[in-house]
Structure 1
């Protein structure tokens, strides 16, 4: 049985050493990796970029707009010549071109309010990204501290096993010498088995916490991974006297991105109310357009060619005397009218311009504009209520965290005293056992008591560090380990 236990212990220690010999990840590296790979953070960043697009759109609404249109085709049979507006029974190639634009001169600052609302919403979206990053960082820190605690408990279990193993070896020597009965060795072997079971449990907890941390990092589970294990006593913590909940709450209102985002959303909602109200008023705009056209049958009068055709055209009749009527003739001419060139039609003959003002007065829109205005007011009221609710929840969380920190500090101090007392009791029992004044079962009882007190002290210490770190986080100091 002794050889079996020693073999199991060697396997456990070697396996644990191999696991802890991997590349170490400290908290800063874990947080940086999580922020770069976490899906929630990436989704928040996409939403922020969408909000930036809305800002660009709102700014563009204050600029002039311009549109160019063109159409062309081929008419055959009897149709209207689009250039001369006369009927023609010929095939016609035609084209129409138009450039038009406009600008809003005054709409009661609706465009300006929309732009301001979109800018505030974009800032709120960026604050939401910071909030997502903070949430991820905090979750990673919690998982990291839990893994550290499990590692510390595993190390305590190792010390416990080493102590029990040393005692068992000494007892075995005394049993072999006949100075102690076999029962003492059997009791210590049972204790060593219990210590080994505790070690396996703590190591499994550490591995489970490590897997949870890797999941938060969005890290492939096949990746070699082990956390850095700084001494918890070296982790800098703020004096709890400097972390009064009222002061922390006021700093949190100014520093936490969730509160910034809520405030920015409310300001954006106020601008949306003004924009919706402005949309119910008249809008004055200016417009302008340039139009031209082309036709393959548009004659060019300036290039008319007149040539005699050696014929006479009757232009009327003249009565020389009663009963004598002669036709009035003139020399005949052929007139050739060539088609007007394409660019001459576009930029000279058929070119027309127009400028003007337009006034749009909303008289009746089936209550659409008023409904939008009233809904924007309700949206702002709802955002205000959410802002107050989040602030109240934040205040409750901070006061609860401060109370938990005070209680954790008290438990940690009590646990330290319990460890000191348990160590003294164990040392006394060890001395009495060495001189034969104490039974093995009583020695193992004191040893188990010391083991539990050390585990309790480690848990209390990590709980205290986490609560202080949480208060530091609330007042905007970030996470430092």
Structure 2
């Protein structure tokens, strides 16, 4: 489900031709979700969590590392090839390859991978939530701009009526039928209506600037929005937006609920990860190693077995040879100890298994396990709290929608009544039975009633759209 565009579909209007491009709500939302900074940050976080997940998958495989070093020794040191002390200056090089693999670690790596998987899915849901939040904010700002535009139209009609009445009174004053005081009163009304129109235009520009800020658009650029009639905006009947039904749908469809569910699952997996840290782990290791030293000039090539002289003992001035007790292997021929010969001659291998048993580490492993269990409780409480808040918001939105519809219906009646009063007043004024100040009063009452009706109409449209947003259903573009 594409929650990010539920609100925008209600007001999706095609681009109209003109000298200046006018943005539809759909275009505003599409641009906002692509350029809004909070949405971009959520996208970056999701990509980072994806990398963490990929790394935890790769951690299931054995590790292999190759080390290479070269250096120069002087002073008293150990010859790396003969392991003997020497004072000679030595040029040396070491090369090794090591492999390690976990054979059994209580599924710590697999549970880590699963936890990272749930965290990544939660980040994707957070990205969707960020898009939804931006779409909802843009829709609210867009509707506020439309309301301001409608107020301009009403103010313009009011000004035109006042101008016509001023011209009519002026003619009667010149004919001597009315005193100049009546003209002065209508001039004052005309000035007030002009100020109201100027204020409405300024408010509309301010609403556009607020919308531009949400879109991350330069405030200096030319910007305007399409202005569809509010009556053309389709809304679901309030009877189909029962709060209990809306809440059930919201629990399934809204990203925040998915985020909470995934966070709980990730926390449960992290408990198993922490628990594995308290148990022994079993692994395999292996390596290859070789070295070179310029102090090793010759390398034994062939060997023989026999009695080997060890030294000489002098007794009574005579030399007596000392030999090994039994036969020993000794080199009989040598080859030149160049770089590659030494690498071959000094080549060694190792294989083995290792057992790591945690005995005492400051109670760190057990503390981490207990913290992980508490984190599960914390995530579950957050899930419960968000569900309660969501339910409260939906029931409150439904109550507000009911009140908004009732207010709109009342304001429609008020407009009808004010229009009748103005029409009667205008007829009485035209035949000289009503003072201009009384006509002005009825005209102002009609203006206020129309403005109140527009505000109530846009208010209830947005509140119904909010309930549709919670419900998670697509909205028709047209009636």
Shared fold (TM-score greater than 0.5)? yes
Q: State yes or no: 1:427 paired with 2:423.
A: yes
CA distance in 2, matches of 1:450, 1:77: 105
Q: 1:78 deviation in Å?
A: 5.8
SS in 2 for 1:302: strand
SS in 1 for 2:181: helix
SS in 2 for 1:358: strand
Instruction: Calculate the TM-score normalised by the size of structure 1.
Output: 0.85
Asked whether the 8 Å contact 1:101–1:289 carries over to 2, the reply is: yes
Partner of 1:464: 460
SS in 2 for 1:236: coil
Which of 254, 271, 274 aligns to 1:256? It is 254
CA distance in 2, matches of 1:170, 1:78: 118
Which of 333, 337, 341 aligns to 1:340? It is 337
| Greater CA drift, 197-206 or 408-417 | 197-206
Within 5 Å, which residues of 2 pair with 1:97-116? 97-116=95-114
Which of 380, 383, 390 aligns to 2:386? It is 390
1:340 and 1:424, CA in 2 relative to 1: closer, same or farther beyond 3 A? Answer: same
Asked whether the 8 Å contact 1:473–1:479 carries over to 2, the reply is: no
CA distance in 1, matches of 2:219, 2:77: 76
Which of 327, 346, 361 aligns to 2:357? It is 361
Partner of 1:416: 412
Partner of 1:72: 70
Partner of 2:451: 455
Q: State yes or no: 1:54 paired with 2:52.
A: yes
Q: 1:281 deviation in Å?
A: 1.0
Q: 1:415 deviation in Å?
A: 0.8
CA distance in 2, matches of 1:78, 1:243: 89
CA distance in 1, matches of 2:171, 2:370: 90
Q: 1:71 deviation in Å?
A: 2.0
Which of 203, 216, 219 aligns to 2:217? It is 219
CA distance in 2, matches of 1:448, 1:78: 106
Asked whether the 8 Å contact 1:102–1:288 carries over to 2, the reply is: yes
Partner of 2:301: 302
RMSD: 2.2
SS in 1 for 2:80: coil
Post-superposition CA distance 1:140-189 (Å, at most 9, x none): 11111111111111110000001111121122222223333323322221
SS in 2 for 1:465: helix
CA distance in 2, matches of 1:336, 1:391: 85
Q: 1:200 deviation in Å?
A: 2.2
Asked whether the 8 Å contact 1:100–1:287 carries over to 2, the reply is: yes
Q: 1:81 deviation in Å?
A: 3.1
Partner of 2:5: none
1:77 and 1:391, CA in 2 relative to 1: closer, same or farther beyond 3 A? Answer: closer
Aligned length: 433
Structure 2 portions without partners, runs of 5+: 1-17, 304-311, 313-331
SS in 2 for 1:95: strand
Asked whether the 8 Å contact 1:157–1:198 carries over to 2, the reply is: yes
| Greater CA drift, 435-444 or 244-253 | 435-444
Asked whether the 8 Å contact 1:287–1:357 carries over to 2, the reply is: yes
| Greater CA drift, 335-344 or 267-276 | 335-344
Post-superposition CA distance 1:244-300 (Å, at most 9, x none): 111111111111111111111111000001111111111111111011112222413
Asked whether the 8 Å contact 1:469–1:479 carries over to 2, the reply is: no
Structure 1 portions without partners, runs of 5+: 1-19, 305-315, 317-334
CA distance in 1, matches of 2:87, 2:220: 82
Within 5 Å, which residues of 2 pair with 1:115-134? 115-134=113-132
Asked whether the 8 Å contact 1:83–1:298 carries over to 2, the reply is: no
CA distance in 1, matches of 2:87, 2:32: 76
Could you say which structure has the larger radius of gyration? 1
Which of 145, 153, 166 aligns to 1:147? It is 145
Partner of 1:400: 396
Within 5 Å, which residues of 2 pair with 1:271-310? 271-296=269-294, 297-302=296-301
CA distance in 2, matches of 1:300, 1:287: 30
Instruction: Calculate the TM-score normalised by the size of structure 2.
Output: 0.86
1:78 and 1:434, CA in 2 relative to 1: closer, same or farther beyond 3 A? Answer: closer
